[in-house]
Structure 1
Amino acid sequence: MSHPVKSHPVRSRPVELRRVTARPVKSHPVEDAGLLALRAGVGGILIAHGCQKLFGWFGGHGLRGTATAFEGMGFKPGLPSAVAAGAGEAGGGALLALGLGTPLAAAAASGTMIAAAGVHFPAGFFAQAGGYEYVALLSLSSATLALTGPGAWSVDRLLGYRLNQPWISVAGIVASAVAATAVLKVRERTLAARAGAPAQEGPHAAATQEPSQGAPVAEGPHAAAQEPGQGAPAGQRPSETGTPGGLGGVEGGGTE
């Protein structure tokens, strides 16, 4: 006679739910120190350039001067363009240095530098010739921080990396690249329309005529201050004449 088998109730263990973070929780002090140094360096440079545009600090031109230069380079309207560029640099740089919202901050800074690189592109690569070397380095460094994250020594770490998700990094970089490309396309159309405009006539035509098109040579006691073949006095910065030597006189050729 077989005895019935007693069944024992199976106790299921409670499933422990762990919050999955976007970045590794384990801290590597050497890597974190390197990321902090990179954030502080890139962020500090961007803050300085942004303050030049927005407030005229560190030898900058301020909003009015930057807006005038932007108008001359084809970024219209100049004032909103100057505000956007200055805020992207100063704000993005500050957030990068803090490690707060790193993907979005890096994307804003990278997009601003992409637009600046488009201005410098005709001058070639190297910065001493007015090329895009310097701004391209800032753009690449910012985009790299968006992909690597800020490290453990950051405000994002204190917030549990809520603002530092991988999808935010990718979306931010793509959006900034698209926005910068659109801005440069509008600038190209503005410059093309300006080049195709009929020559100005009237009493102010000579004042706006370029030297290469037969502008009168300066005469009088101030003639010696003018370099041959140039319409601006020696010592005057290219950005002050509205030429594309630098985006608002800040990133021009690495001279500042």
Structure 2
Amino acid sequence: MGSARDLGLLVLRLGIGGAVFAHGAQKLFGWFGGAGPEATAASMESKGFEPGDRNALLSGVSETLGGAMIAAGLGTGPAAAAVSSSMAVASTTHVDNGYFNSKGGFELPAAYAISATAIAMTGPGKLSLDHVTRNVFNRKWMRRVAYLVTFGLAAYVISERQATLDSRSMDRARS
């Protein structure tokens, strides 16, 4: 058995990873009372993420696979990068509602992003598949590259969404 630190990291990974996995599975499969892929795609498209099906798939895979990998402690750094980036994008859809989740704010996706980043920074601990595999999928360079790539993609998605929303706003103004 590991130390109290390792046990704490396991609990954190299982809680955050499991919750994010469930959110992704709602999108991809309709599990846990989720909308499923078609309704998720329509919702994403209505929020300015075009095409909705591609964006629903990307966010669903990032959350499902990233959450499962965080929970297992496998490829923890890259998995955390995928989750953090996906949650950064999700936060942008809630920012107009303020901070608190009770009002539809960005509190929950921000908390997931911060938690995933903290897990990436501390590492998964000894009670993880990364420890068992001697971190073959969790090297420092992998974490750095993953954060650069996924946050670059997140910035692109956010920019494209804003362009779509601006275009829709201009179209409504002309009507």
User: Normalization by structure 2: what TM-score?
Assistant: 0.94
Which structure features the higher share of helix residues? 2
Q: Which residue of 2 aligns with 1:13?
A: none
Q: Which residue of 2 aligns with 1:59?
A: 33
* Partners of 1:118 and 1:199 in 2: CA distance: 23
Q: Which residue of 1 aligns with 2:82?
A: 108
Q: Which residue of 2 aligns with 1:118?
A: 92
Contact kept? 2:2, 2:127, Cα under 8 Å:
no
Q: Which residue of 2 aligns with 1:29?
A: 3
Q: Which residue of 1 aligns with 2:61?
A: 87
- Residue 127 of structure 1 pairs with residue 121 of structure 2: no
* Partners of 1:200 and 1:43 in 2: CA distance: 45
- Residue 179 of structure 1 pairs with residue 153 of structure 2: yes
SS in 1 for 2:171: coil
Contact kept? 2:85, 2:113, Cα under 8 Å:
yes
Contact kept? 1:102, 1:146, Cα under 8 Å:
yes
Q: Aligned AA for 2:62?
A: G
* Partners of 2:37 and 2:108 in 1: CA distance: 22
- Residue 142 of structure 1 pairs with residue 100 of structure 2: no
> What's the offset of the Cα at 1:172?
1.9
> What's the offset of the Cα at 1:167?
2.2
SS in 1 for 2:32: coil
> What's the offset of the Cα at 1:173?
2.2
Could you report, residue by residue, the CA deviation over 1:40-85 in whole angstroms, capped at 9, with x for unpaired residues?
A: 0001101110111011111111000000000100000000110111
* Partners of 2:89 and 2:158 in 1: CA distance: 6
Map residues 132-211 of structure 1 onto 2, 5 A cutoff: 132-197=106-171
* Partners of 1:137 and 1:122 in 2: CA distance: 17
Q: Aligned AA for 2:52?
A: G
SS in 1 for 2:50: coil
> What's the offset of the Cα at 1:133?
0.8
% identical aligned pairs: 41
CA RMSD of aligned residues (A): 1.6
- Runs of 4+ aligned structure 1 residues displaced above 6 Å come to none
Q: Aligned AA for 2:79?
A: A
* Partners of 2:107 and 2:173 in 1: CA distance: 35
User: Normalization by structure 1: what TM-score?
Assistant: 0.65
Q: Aligned AA for 2:57?
A: V
Larger Rg: 1
In structure 2, the gaps of 5 or more residues are none
